[in-house]
A and B are shown apart, each in its own frame.
Chain A
C-alpha cells in the first residue's frame, strides 16, 4: 500500500544536487504540482533528465527559469529560450541526446541492461567519444544506460497500490522512467481504490512506485 504525500513533501524529499527524471513532452504529461513545489522550496543544482525543457512558465521550464537546474539531459531545448540563454552563459550544462536514444538509455537503465546499440547518431557529433561496434557489417553506437535518484511521473489514475494509467500523449517518457530511478514519485489526476483499475489497464505496475502525490485537501 502506498502513502499519499503532498507535493510539498515530495519536493522536500528531493535534495539539492539530485538527479531527477521528469515525464513530459513539451509540458504535456509533466508532474506540475511537484514542479511548482520544487520551485517554491528553491531547489538548486538539480540534474534534469527530460525529453525537452518545455517553454518558459510551463512544465520543467519553470525549474529552468527559477534557477533550480545545473545540468540538463534532453533531446530538445529549442522551445525554451531561457535554457538556451543559460546554456550559453554557462549557468546550465546541456547534454543533447537523440530522443529515441534517450528513451532507450532510460529503458536500459531500468531494465538491467548494460547499454544500447543503435544506428542513431553514427557519423554525427553524437558519436564523439563513444564506441562504435560492427554488427553483421553495420555500424552501431554503444549508448550507456541512464538512471536517476528520482523519477517524477504524471499519471492519469493511480490506485492505492500505486498501479498507474496514463492518457493519450501524456504517457510519453513516464512509463519508461518508472523503472529507472531509486525513488519513484507519481502525481496522478486521481487516486482510486484498489480494484478500480483493471489489471490489463495498468501500464506501470505499482511495485515500481514509492510515493503518490495526493491532491490538496
Chain B
C-alpha cells in the first residue's frame, strides 16, 4: 500500500458519524475516499459549501461548483452553499468538528508549521490559520519525513500556523499524539517497528505500553 493510502485510510478512522469535517488540499482530500460505510460525514469546502461529492462526469461540470483547490465537484442532496464570511464563522465558531491538514513540520509541543518556507515558498496561508485556530480537532496527515529529513522535530524551524497544539499526527509510519507530557507514539503502521519510527523522528517520542499496529479501514468497509 502506498504511503498516502496508508495515511488516508488511518485518518478516515478518526471520522465520526454526523460531524462536519474540512479536508485540506492535497493528501487530506484522499480521506474522503475511505469514509467507513456505517457513518455519515458532511464535508465542508471553505470556499462555501457543505455536502459535496465526486467530480461530475466529463463535460457536465458546473463552473460555479468547485472546491477550495478549484477542482469541480458535485453537490449531494442536502448540500448548502454560502459566502466566505459564513464559511469561516463555521470554522472559527466551534461548528467544525475536525480538520485534516497537510504539514511541513510538527514540533514536540504539537505546534504545526504548514504554510511557508521563508525564502523558498510563500504561497500564503489561505484558510489554514483559521482552520487550525478554530476546528475542534486538528489532524495532521503527512509523510513522516521529507527528503530523508524528519518532519516531526524538537522545535519548529519554519513559521508556525497557529499557537494551538494540534490533536493528532498520522503518517505512513505512525500515529502520534501531542500531549502535556510530549509526543506519545500511539500506533505504528503494519510491518513498521517502533525503532524505525523513533529513528525517523526528530523529536523525543514517549512510548505507551507496547505500541499497537494501526487498524486501517479495510476496503470492504468503505462506502461505495
Residues of A at under 8 Å CB distance from B? Answer: 25-29, 51-52, 74-79, 84, 87, 96, 98-104, 106-107, 118-126, 139, 156, 166-176, 203
B129 to chain A, nearest CB (A): 4
Interface residues in B123-140 (C-beta closer than 8 Å to A)? 123-130, 133-134
**Contacts A126-B129, A171-B82, A174-B83 given; does A99 touch B122 at CB 8 Å:** no
Distance in angstroms between the alpha carbons of A106 and B122 in the assembled complex? 23
Distance in angstroms between the alpha carbons of A169 and B215 in the assembled complex? 36
Can you pick out 26 interface pairs between chain A and chain B where the beta carbons lie within 8 Å of each other? A25-B68, A26-B70, A28-B66, A28-B70, A76-B126, A79-B70, A96-B125, A98-B130, A99-B125, A101-B129, A104-B85, A119-B164, A120-B129, A120-B130, A122-B133, A123-B164, A124-B129, A124-B160, A124-B161, A166-B83, A168-B48, A169-B47, A169-B49, A171-B48, A176-B83, A176-B84
Question: Which of B49, B88, B133 contacts A103, CB < 8 Å?
Answer: B88
Within 8 Å CB of B14, what residues of A? none
Distance in angstroms between the alpha carbons of A126 and B132 in the assembled complex? 14
**Contacts A96-B124, A123-B163, A174-B83 given; does A29 touch B92 at CB 8 Å:** no
Distance in angstroms between the alpha carbons of A197 and B81 in the assembled complex? 18
Chain B interface category by residue count: 35 or more
Interface residues in B78-132 (C-beta closer than 8 Å to A)? 81-85, 87-88, 91-92, 121-130
Contact of B65 with A by CB under 8 A: yes
Within 8 Å CB of B163, what residues of A? 122-124, 139
Contact of B171 with A by CB under 8 A: no
Query: A99 contacts B130, CB within 8 Å?
Result: yes
Within 8 Å CB of A106, what residues of B? 85
Within 8 Å CB of B172, what residues of A? none
**Contacts A25-B47, A26-B70, A99-B88 given; does A169 touch B126 at CB 8 Å:** no
Chain B: CB-nearest residue to A98: B129
Within 8 Å CB of B153, what residues of A? none
Distance in angstroms between the alpha carbons of A54 and B60 in the assembled complex? 23
Question: Which of B83, B133, B161 contacts A171, CB < 8 Å?
Answer: B83
Within 8 Å CB of B190, what residues of A? none
Query: A100 contacts B88, CB within 8 Å?
Result: yes
Query: B83 contacts A175, CB within 8 Å?
Result: yes
Closest 4 CB pairs of A and B: A78-B123, A123-B163, A100-B88, A100-B130
